[in-house]
Amino acid sequence: MQGAEAALPTGRPRRHLTLAVGAGAAGAEHARRVAERLAPSVREPFEVTPLEIGKNGVPTEPAALIRALFADEAELAACCAEHLPLELPSGVRIEAAVRVCDPRYRLVSADGATGLDALADGTRLGVCDEAARAQLLYLRHTLAVELVPGEGALVAGLERGEFDAGIVSALHGSDASGLEAQILTQAQLVSPSGRGVIVLLALDDADPAEPWRRLLNEPETEDCLICERAFLARMASGAKGLPIAHATRIGGHLELDGTLAHPEGEWLVTSRASGPPSFGRILGGSSAVITWCTAPMAIEFAGMKLNSSTRSQVRHPALVSTCASQNTAASAASVPRTMPPMNTTFGCRIAHRCSASRGRG
């Protein structure tokens, strides 16, 4: 495998590592990235052998890669963090997380639109996933937003003129030949958790203290992923809406932007949490609780017939220290017993679009 050989001392035997990956170009890229990260290992030089799982051109489910681990066919498995289940099978752990590309969405158009505000009402906008669709239906409900499964089909539709513009992921933002792509900030459109990140999976009985394993991981990327997945896992237990989470490391702090969006754009609840990276799981879980408990208010507001032509916003700043004293039984039962330090802060915003402004009732 190319990549490990550059670091091989003369005469030193190679350590063979079998890596389960998906078939095709994505799997080959995952294997290349792992080989690159192991290349600095002079004490224990590596040769990475990819074990392709699945069929070329067909996305490989993480479950198939995990089965290769249990069958002792591979020592590690690599897959996209975005597609990793929130609950891993017993006996499997996340060994490492590596960011391979910018996770932000791209706005692609023939006329080089510089942002969402530059799109005229009625613009035919194809989007690559449900997270983008839900946010855009709220943010720009005057656009003709259509979900297009498969980014290849979306880019082809743009080139044929079926859409005026498109929202594509960072993984395919450069595939639209002849079209101009503009990066959208996370403040404009929040990308899904794990986008642009490779996770490496291992069995629990593998020794985590082996020195070479530290070469695989990016601690900052892992901190962000843990926080995001904690938010999504808490939301998965019953939130009415589409949860979206994106975390970043800024200096010595971890910042989480959490969103709960109505699939058809009727309302949007956003939250922000900030605190030490070591409390990532608590940040994610507690932020989800605050967002979840605020969602019923957003749903109620969205059903009101008010004389507003756009949308109304209600802001609810909160400290985690007061979260446990909320009157709802659900929130009191869900707040972690181990609380973050007092410099950890949370805030929540409700945004809803009145029924009258959507042409109903």
Whether residues 80 and 171 share a domain: the answer is no
The answer to whether position 252 is within a domain reads: yes
Residues 245 and 279 in one domain: yes
| pLDDT at residue 277 is higher than 60 | yes
Determine phi and psi for 319, rounding to 5 degrees. -105, 145
Same domain, 70 and 148: no
| Rounded Cα distance, 233 and 231, in Å | 6
Query: Phi and psi at residue 91, in whole multiples of 5°?
Result: 95, 0
In this structure, the answer to whether residues 79 and 119 fall within a common structural domain is: no
Q: What is the pTM of this model?
A: 0.80
User: What are the pLDDT digits (tens) for 206-251?
Assistant: 998 888 898 999 999 999 999 999 999 999 876 678 999 999 998 8
Domain count, the chain: 3
Give the sheet arrangement for strand 253-261, strand by strand: 242-250, 253-261, 267-275, 345-353, 311-319
pLDDT band at residue 305 using 50, 70 and 90 as cut-offs = very low
| 322 shares its domain with 246 | yes
- 201 shares its domain with 350: no
Least confident stretch, 21-35, 168-182, 296-310 = 296-310
Q: What is the mean pLDDT of residues 50-58?
A: 82
Question: In 128-223, at which residue ranges do the beta strands (DSSP E only) sit?
Answer: 144-147, 165-168, 180-183, 197-203
159 and 242 in a single domain? The answer is no
The pLDDT confidence band at residue 325, using thresholds 50, 70 and 90, is very low
User: Domain for residue 191, yes or no?
Assistant: no
CATH of the domain at 258: 3.30.160.40
What CATH number corresponds to the domain at position 66?
3.40.190.10
Q: Establish if 288 belongs to a structural domain.
A: yes
The last residue of a domain, from among 125, 160, 183: 183
**In this structure, are 202 and 332 located in the same domain?**
no
Structural domain boundaries, residue 43: 5-98+196-217
Tell me: do 200 and 341 sit in the same domain. no
Residues 211 and 227 in one domain: no
Same domain as 91, residue 36: yes
Domain shared by 345 and 251, yes or no: yes
- With a CB cutoff of 8 Å and minimum separation 6, the contacts of 101 are 170, 171, 196
- Domain annotation covers residue 66: yes
User: Encoding tokens for residue 338?
Assistant: 């181990």
132 within a domain of the structure (yes/no): yes
